[in-house]
C-alpha cells in the first residue's frame, strides 16, 4: 500500500466515513484510519443499538396492547441476552455495509490509532507495526467518548456508562440513572419497559435541560406514569447508591483528542479539549475537523452533514436540526436558527383528538407549533407522541422552506393520519 494520499481521514464514524466517500468520489486518493470498529459510536455504542433495544421494548408493548383490537396474545418471558445477541448481529451487518461502501469507492481502510507527526504526516499504530501516512489534507473525525466524572470509579460492573448498559446480558432489578439528557431518558425508558425499577436523577431543574420546558414537564409526567421515579434539582445524586444493582452515569460526552498528539502541529483546542474550527478549518491550514470532535451537536446526522460539507466546500449551513428522544412515546423538536420566544405565537393540538391516534391506541401527547407574529413563518415545532421521530422531519422541512402558516393550511394532509395533528396545531395559532 502506497502511503501518499490526497486526503486522510481519522475516524470512521458517521462524519468520517461519509467524508471519505465524498472525497473519493472526486477521484481523490483517500485513506481512512479507525482504531476500533467501522461506524463509530453511533453504530456500535450509540444510536443504532439504543434504537434496536427501544424497538424491542416497543414491540413488547404492542403485544401487551393487543386487547385494544379484541385480540389475545401471549409471549414467552423475555430472555434479554437473546435480544442483545440480535442487536449485535444487526450492528455487525451494518458495519460490514460501511466497509463495502468504502471499498466500493476505493477508500483505503487502515485499522489502527493515528496521531500527528507533523501537519502532513500521521503515524498509525497497528497491531503489527507503525505506518506513516502522508496526505495533502487531513480530516479529524475522531468523535467523542463517554464523559468521566471525578471521584467516580467506572468499574463497568455496578458503575456503568451507556456503552456498558447497551451490552448488559441480563435485566437489572434496580437501576439508578444519573443524567436526564436524551441518553438518560432513553435508557431509563428502555430498561423500565423490560421490568427494571428505575430512578432517574438530574442536577438541573428539568429533564432534557436544553429542551422546551413544557415538553420536558409533559415527558416527566409520562415517565412517572410508566413507573420511572424522576428527581430533578438533585444536589446528591448518589445519596442512596447502595440500594441499586446498577448505577448508570450518562453525564454527557467528552473530547477524544488526547491520542492525536495535537501539540506536534500546535492545533488549537478549546477549554474542553475539543478542536476549534471555523467552517470546519482548524488553525492549521490543511487540517479540518468535523463531527463530535468539534464539540458541536453530538448528533450522527449533523456529523454526516459535516462530512459532506467539508468534502464539497459547503461552508454555510443554517439548516434546522431536528432532535428526538426515544421515550415511550418519543419526543421531538426543531427550531429555526433565529427562533425567538418573544416574537412568536403558539398553537397546540392533542393526539387524543386525532382519528389515526385513536385507531392506533396512541392517544398520549401533543404537537405545539410556533410562528412569527409578523411574518407568520413557522419557527418551531415540538412533538410528544407516536412517530414523533418521523413527524419532526416534516416540521424541519417546513421551517427550512420558510413556510408560513397560510402556506401550510393551503395543503391537504392525508386522512386519517397523524401528520394532521401538525396541521391542527397550526390552525390553532392565535396571533
Short-list 41, 36, 8, CA closest to 254? 41
- Same-domain check for residues 384 and 235: no
Whether the CB-CB separation of 286 and 134 falls below 8 Å is answered with: no
- Beta strands 174-178 and 159-160: pairing type? unpaired
Question: Given this model, what pLDDT does residue 314 score?
Answer: 75
pLDDT single digits (tens) 328-353: 999 999 999 999 999 999 999 999 99
Backbone angles phi, psi at 166, to 5 degrees: -75, -5
Which position has the grid cell 453530538? 298
Cβ–Cβ contacts within 10 Å for residue 66, how many? 13
CATH number, residue 329: 3.30.390.30
**Mean pLDDT of the 11-40 span:** 97
Structural domain includes residue 154? no
**Mean pLDDT of the 199-219 span:** 97
Position 119 pLDDT exceeds 60: yes
The last residue of one of the domains, among 233, 251, 269, is 251
CATH number, residue 291: 3.50.50.60
Question: Given this model, what pLDDT does residue 316 score?
Answer: 60
pLDDT single digits (tens) 233-257: 999 999 999 999 999 999 889 999 9
Question: Given this model, what pLDDT does residue 1 score?
Answer: 53
Position 20 pLDDT exceeds 70: yes
Give the whole-number percent of the chain exceeding pLDDT 70. 99
Structural domain includes residue 43? yes
pLDDT single digits (tens) 129-161: 999 999 999 999 999 999 888 778 889 999 999
**Mean pLDDT of the 48-53 span:** 98
- Same-domain check for residues 390 and 359: yes
Question: Given this model, what pLDDT does residue 2 score?
Answer: 64
Whether the CB-CB separation of 57 and 69 falls below 8 Å is answered with: no
- Same-domain check for residues 109 and 202: no
Provide the mean pLDDT of the chain.
Answer: 95
Please report the DSSP string for 199-258 in residue order. EEE-SSSSSSTTS-HHHHHHHHHHHHHTT-EEE-S-S-TTTTGGG-SEEEE---EEE-GG
Short-list 109, 142, 102, 116, CA closest to 15? 142
Position 315 pLDDT exceeds 80: no
Short-list 369, 344, 379, 375, CA closest to 419? 369
Structural domain includes residue 168? yes
Give the domain range for residue 403: 323-427
Position 176 pLDDT exceeds 60: yes
The domain total for the chain is: 3
Position 289 pLDDT exceeds 80: yes
Amino acid at each position: 500500500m502506497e502511503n501518499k494520499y490526497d486526503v486522510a481521514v481519522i475516524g470512521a464514524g458517521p462524519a468520517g466515513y461519509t467524508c471519505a466517500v465524498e472525497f473519493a468520489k472526486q477521484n481523490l486518493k483517500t485513506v481512512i484510519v479507525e482504531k476500533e470498529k467501522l461506524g463509530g459510536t453511533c453504530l456500535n455504542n450509540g444510536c443504532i443499538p439504543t434504537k434496536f433495544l427501544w424497538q424491542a421494548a416497543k414491540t413488547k408493548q404492542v403485544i401487551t396492547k393487543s386487547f385494544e383490537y379484541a385480540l389475545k396474545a401471549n409471549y414467552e418471558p423475555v430472555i434479554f441476552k437473546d435480544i442483545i445477541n440480535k442487536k449485535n448481529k444487526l450492528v455487525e451487518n451494518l458495519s460490514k455495509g460501511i466497509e463495502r461502501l468504502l471499498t466500493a469507492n476505493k477508500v483505503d481502510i487502515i485499522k489502527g490509532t493515528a496521531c500527528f507527526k507533523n501537519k502532513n504526516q500521521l503515524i498509525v499504530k497497528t497491531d503489527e507495526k507503525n505506518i506513516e501516512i502522508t496526505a495533502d489534507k487531513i480530516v479529524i473525525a475522531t468523535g467523542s467518548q463517554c464523559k468521566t466524572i471525578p471521584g467516580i470509579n467506572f468499574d463497568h460492573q455496578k458503575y456503568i456508562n451507556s456503552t456498558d448498559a447497551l451490552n448488559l446480558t441480563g435485566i437489572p432489578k434496580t437501576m439508578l440513572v444519573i443524567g436526564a439528557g436524551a441518553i438518560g431518558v432513553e435508557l431509563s425508558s428502555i430498561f423500565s419497559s423490560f421490568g427494571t425499577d428505575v430512578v432517574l436523577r438530574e442536577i438541573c431543574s428539568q429533564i432534557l435541560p436544553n429542551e422546551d420546558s413544557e415538553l420536558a414537564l409533559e415527558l416527566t409526567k409520562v415517565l412517572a406514569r410508566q413507573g420511572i421515579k424522576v428527581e430533578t434539582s438533585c444536589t446528591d445524586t448518589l445519596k442512596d447508591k447502595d440500594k441499586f444493582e446498577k448505577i448508570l452515569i450518562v453525564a454527557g460526552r467528552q473530547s477524544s483528542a488526547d491520542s492525536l498528539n495535537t501539540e506536534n502541529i500546535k492545533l488549537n483546542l478549546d477549554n474542553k479539549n475539543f478542536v476549534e474550527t471555523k467552517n470546519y478549518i482548524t488553525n492549521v491550514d490543511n487540517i479540518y475537523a468535523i463531527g463530535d470532535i468539534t464539540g458541536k451537536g453530538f448528533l450522527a446526522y449533523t456529523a454526516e452533514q459535516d462530512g459532506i460539507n467539508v468534502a464539497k466546500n459547503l461552508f454555510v449551513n443554517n439548516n434546522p436540526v431536528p432532535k428526538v428522544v426515544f421515550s415511550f412515546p418519543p419526543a421531538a423538536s426543531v427550531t429555526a436558527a433565529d427562533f425567538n420566544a418573544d416574537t412568536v405565537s403558539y398553537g397546540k393540538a392533542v393526539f387524543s383528538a386525532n382519528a389515526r391516534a385513536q385507531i392506533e391506541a396512541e392517544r398520549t401527547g401533543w404537537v405545539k407549533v410556533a410562528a412569527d407574529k409578523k411574518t407568520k413563518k413557522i419557527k418551531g415545532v415540538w412533538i410528544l407522541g407516536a412517530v414523533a421521530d418521523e413527524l419532526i422531519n416534516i416540521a424541519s422541512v417546513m421551517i427550512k422552506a420558510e413556510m408560513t402558516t397560510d402556506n401550510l393550511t393551503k395543503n391537504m394532509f392525508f386522512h386519517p393520519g397523524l401528520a394532521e395533528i401538525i396541521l391542527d396545531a397550526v390552525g390553532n395559532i392565535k396571533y
